[in-house]
Structure 1
Amino acid sequence: MRASPLMGSLLAGPALATVPILTEASLAGCADVSCPAAGGTSSSSNDLVGESNCTLGGAVLRRVGIAPEVLDVPIDDNNITDIRKLSLTVATQAVSASSSSQQNFMKKQVYTQSYYLGAPPGLNLSNPAYPKGCAFIFQHLFQTLPIPHEVEDLETTDCSPWLQQSCMDEITGYVDDFRAEHAKDDGEELPRCQDLAMYLEERTRTDKNFHCNLIAGAVNITGAEIIGPDAPSRLARTTGANNGCNPTLPSSYDLMKLTDVELILDADGSTTRPTGGLNGYTPVMSVLFDKLLYSQWICMKTMSEFNKESTGTKSSTPLMAGLVLFLATLLALMML
């Protein structure tokens, strides 16, 4: 994993600014953690070759992306070097046949993506003595971000192909504004992460000086606690015949449900178009916003062995590469 050094500092006053850090780690999929494989054929809409059949907490997970030990979480306000490393998992749930048939008449399909935290065994993230921290999931019109046609998909958490440094600076600046506003309320607890998510969403939509590429004016933000009193504490349990499924790394880590988000995509999941879809990336920002000033950015995507094979074929086939380039150019012209 490549990351800048931990840049936290104690809060001496609202004027101090949170420094956003890009963190890069290789993404893993279900094949890397021995998830049960789905059967069927690639022509089946709900049971694709190369996808998983992991049943976790009552949900069947088809596509999984795992970022191992990607979030650095200090557990002591007074000692920023005392950190624990958390892993993040995103998984796309299987679409039921009834749901698929009801929505196909609109040529749209709603997919549920679940986010999970992986933590060292026995670590109680909801300990009230720990700093308060959040994860914010950024979607563009309830969709993922497309892979730029001129950029090779290295399947890592690096957000630099999508987010400029100035963009991250602006958003973390809004976090500082939020903290400064609530610092005036002596003795009151900081609001929950959902409140900060709504604040960020409003600022990104209404601030005329906000010019973040790709998400300006059309961002949906979901907030969830990753450390502090409201952080998840219940383990995500596997059920049914697939009780060996534990989609996190290291494999010894505990897995806890963080939150769900929805994707509104074309009926086929937009897997054949350069518009993100099930193959696209979603930016996630983690923030410690209680006393520490610390922020990390990673980009998550779900992995599929079937997609990996398709990617290899496209890179060696000039006709397919030309088709993708044509579609990307056409999309860009339509957006002018």
Structure 2
Amino acid sequence: MKILNIMLSHDLGGIQQAFLDYNTALGMQKIEVINITSYKAKINSFLHKQNLKLPNIVPFDLLSVLILKYIIHKTKPDIIIAHGNRAINFSKFAKSQNIKLIGIAHNYSLKGLRKCDFVITLTHHMKEFLLKNNFAESRICILPNMINIAKDFTPNKTYRKPIVIGVLARFVAKKGVDVFINAIKILKEKKYDIQAVIGGSGEEEDNLIALARKLNLQDQISFTGWVNDRDKFFKQIDIFCLPSLHEPFGIIVLEAMEASVPIVSTDTEGPAEILTHLQDGLICKAGSSEDLAEKIVYLIENPIKAKEFSKNAYLTLKQNYDIKVVSEKLQHILESFNKILAPTDSINSFTLEFL
């Protein structure tokens, strides 16, 4: 079986990490992989073997489609795995009808997924969303994102003084970093000895820095910029927070689980399936600085429980999200899809969107 794995986003983030993980997972199962990215994609430097690149200059780039069509003709893949709407659109126009197109549902955008023969969702919540929007159940499989576990369970023996609380996120509104900053304000007012480390970058960066200053948190919060060395980041924190308002999956949660760091996450779609409240982490209400602060306080005041949560989280990670486990499931899914004729309704739904 030969797979064409395509992702055309330029920036770095969860989808890009998933694209890399699919490449690794397919290789582990001895499946031939052809990776396709954009010329300017930041992820190119992370691919160890040579990948093919498209210009990808505009949303519908005819030159890129023609190049992709040539690549498909020469390489003759059995299946195309597409990450993101643009990758789906280009692949749909470039492929021949006998090649199956599988879209990875990294978010809740349906337009691109309707053009696919099959869809892989990351969570049960996402699958239910697709079913409610008239996707055929026979076209859907659930497969979570994965992580290549490289470390044993190694929790901090004790909290630092001050206790360091970390966030890693793109600085966009839906990531809720402002909610986290307001939670730090609450903890400061309650006289907890804490420091917050916020890693990331994005369009909201100036607003977030201004908010920290407005709340007089310059001494409690440091902004590190985009973090490339995540291992180093996790080693310098005692508690990890995911304050997102909307999070389809949350690969960063898996990374925190591997790092043996206790986690507080919002009750958003992905993390709420990954973590079980009071078992392998704490879940707070999305958008509530007060609830986030309350859950952080629980971990601060219950360090033994925090370590227990971290241990359980690590075991959950190994059982459900280790790339060795998920790659085998991926192989079975692809073999199953490859035996099925591509459903004609994917062509019909594609046409209907333009009527």
Query: What TM-score results when the alignment is normalised by the length of structure 2?
Result: 0.24
Larger relative CO (CA 8 A, sep 6+): 1 or 2?
Answer: 1
More strand by share: 1
TM-score of the aligned structures, taking structure 1 as reference length: 0.25
